Chain A
Amino acid sequence: VSDLLILEYEGWILLRLPTDPDPPDEKRGISGYTFAFGNEPDLDRVLHLQPPQTFKPRSHAPQIGVFVQNATRIKEGIKTPIPALQNASVNLLDNPTIENRNWVLTLPGEEPIVPFNMQIIGENIMLRRKAPLDYKNPDTPFWQVSQELINAQGAHGLEFEPGTIGRATGIWDTLAVAKERRAVLAVDLEALEKKHGDPIEITILKARIAQLDIALNANPPNSDRRTAARYFVERFGFPMQGETEIQGDQQATLGGLLATAPVPGWQVYFWIGAWDPDVMCAFMQGSLEIPYQA
């Protein structure tokens, strides 16, 4: 059995996507329940694991950023911390999107993330690996890849897991969060109107409040997607078998060389959930297992 490098990571991500039944390339949101309001940038569908460079998330969004919480080497059952990767930033490169295409590729909750190119930047060490849907034919467009391979890398379904969400984020009552958010947005709006603030910002706040009102007035309570979605997770787990790049002195930082062969690959597991459509953020938590070279 090879030694393993295990990275546990978590954090809030930004995911500004149109929602069914809007087409996936709808830029502003029409028929779903997510929208780009006022002068906000177009919906990009991109999973931002780190803060975007070109625009600010909405007010009252959580701090965006996925980071390694624990970096450990396991050798013959003994765990050793790897300080160089503690608090390392985790990112997905090349504008990854959850590809479902209005159920063209998969049912909701079973979609893959395309492309999947994970990067971890620690102290004096950078790990990067791609996970093409078909690692033997990495250039095949995702919409031509066999259903079997898409399903293998897709999520395992939408699961109702309030406990998972509560333990990871501290949020146990999604309606309470929506009520609190509505209250603070109303305060922001009142203050802005009082000082004759930017009419576009005022419009954005009004639109957000209107969306929260739809959720809060739903009957039965919490039956609207805007709040009910908070308790769901999408779980992913697959081997990363594509191109690998490692920068830095592996011996010095990791205590050995990492295996880069396609088989068995690097095993990545994570879930995305706690979706908050008002700020278009979700929580991500998972682990990455990388074998050392024998």
Chain B
Amino acid sequence: MKSIKNESARRLRAQLAKVKGQLAESEATMKAIRSGEVDAIVVDGPKGSRIFTLQSPEEPYRILAERMNEGAATLTPEGTILFCNRRLAEMLEVPAEQLLGSSFIPFLRQQEQVGFTELVREALQDSVRCEGHLVREFSGPLPVQLSLSAIPFEESGQGICLVASDLSDRKRVEEATLRLGAIVNSSDDAIVGKTLEGIVTSWNGGAEKMYGYSAEEMIGQSVSKLIPAGGLDDFKAIIENVKQGKPVRQYDVVRVRKDGEEIHVSLVVSPIMEASGEVIGSSSIAHDISAYKRAEERVRKASRYTRSLIEASLDPLVTISRDGTITDVNESTEKVTGVSRQQLIGSDFSDYFTEPEKARSGYQQVFAQGFVTDYPLAIRHTSGKITDVLYNATVFRNEQGEIEGVFAAARDITARKQAEKARTRAEESLCKLNAELEQRVEERTAELAALNKELEAFNYAVAHDLRAPLRHIHGFAEILADEAAPNLDDAAKRHLETIRDSVQHMSQLLEDLLNLSRLGRQELRKQPCDLNELIGEVMAALKPEAKDREVEWRVAKLPFIEGDPGLTKQVLFNLLSNALKFTRPRHPAIIEIGQTTVEGEAVIFVRDNGVGFDMKYMDKLFGLFQRLHRQQDFEGTGVGLAIVQRIVNRHGGRVWAVSEVEKGATFYVRLNVCGVEKNQPAAAETAVQ
């Protein structure tokens, strides 16, 4: 290994020395050529020396090469520059003279050098092309495209023709394009290119996100699938503008996403022109403004809602600026003032009140304190009509928290005031009425007291003074009958008897009347009464009357009632004695006493099988001194049932009767039964059964 290495090293050194020698020779030659000292250079090649002269047949190509815009050189297969044009020298920033005879390879970036030598070998077979960078002394690497092709040398075989095209401009464009592409692609805005027919030619990431279609789905498709029904006309108008090259405009339009959702976009459309200025398509940048639109809609809705509330308010509402100028009003304000909105706004708030000064100090107070509550003012309508109002006002502030104005709401209190007046009037008249009434009551009470007193006196007089003559008549008739008996015939005796009977009857009438009168004045002493006990007492009292008669008493168990025991007993006595009286023709007389329920209420009844009465005289039944039977058939004064009714009424009860001539009668009395509807209604019912 070592020997081989050594050998190749020796050989290489020899080669290097040879090349250096050749190079020095070439340099001298080239210098001579450049300076014009020589006409030709001789280059030693493997196939012997070659001579290059300016006047060689290659002269026309050399001139062409010098004129080229690309860098050009001819190289040996090893890379030595045999010729280079000025453009290449410029590109390398080295004088052309220095380049001749030097190797081209060191002018490439290190990493490109190996590849280049390989490429040179390939170029000997076929033309090749590659990109690389030329290392320059002063500037940075210059991107170039290198084209290599073999050229035959006359004597020494093949050489390489190299053309270097400056790529820096193109690279810049490419980089800019790439950067732009990245920007376009990373934009959230949808950036879409399309032909004038609306066929999509480019579709960025923003468009994919915004519309939901991928670039693959959209490119080549019509953009119209994004346009909602009814939006095509707008679209056509936009395209028309673009075609005419009109200035770029911004449009707010609605577009449809792939998922069908409509979105609001702000669209900027610009024409795409060819170098010639001909419009070949359009590009659009769309910004999704749906969220903004929604927010805007919300605000608009909220504001519409607020406004409608304000307008709907029956209270006149105004806003006032610091100097007292009205800045806004609602419909109620127009109505109450009779002035239109346009006129109101900008006018002085205090102009519309009966007391402008008071109105002014009112809003000044609001600015000073922040609010007023129930501030009374009177609004004057253009017609002169005055509306009493109470103002409630507060300041409102702008976003910076500064007081911007006063918001004032008036409450119409005309109705309230009128109501107050009416109430006061009503109260006054009520007071007056009350006073009158009280006085009248007093008078009446006094009158009544006097009447009562009179009545008492009357009763007393009746009791004493009317009875006395009766007593006397009876007494003397009796004495007469006694003492004159032997001298009297039968007719006279009968007449005396009639006198005494009449006196007796008159006396009974008086007695009953006094009783009835006493009932009206007597105080009720209500307490629970056992009706069974009272019935027992009454029956005992009636025993003499029932004597020698066939009477069948049917007495059911009766309840306790709440009432005056004495008066209740009187009721039972009168009813039972009536029953006894009117059953006199019956054998047996049947008298039934019991309890029943009428219209849900406990009722006591007394039923007999007596002569009864005609119901058409019902209204007379309980009347004072009213009798439905002849005196010779059934004696009586016509007071008993009147007494019954008075007592029952005074107890808050009711008495009525049902009868038919010759078929008996039933008297019903509704009294206040103890326990019913209170403690044990069921027990009361059972008691009946």
Please say whether chains A and B are actual partners in one complex. no
Residues of B within 8 A of A (CB): none
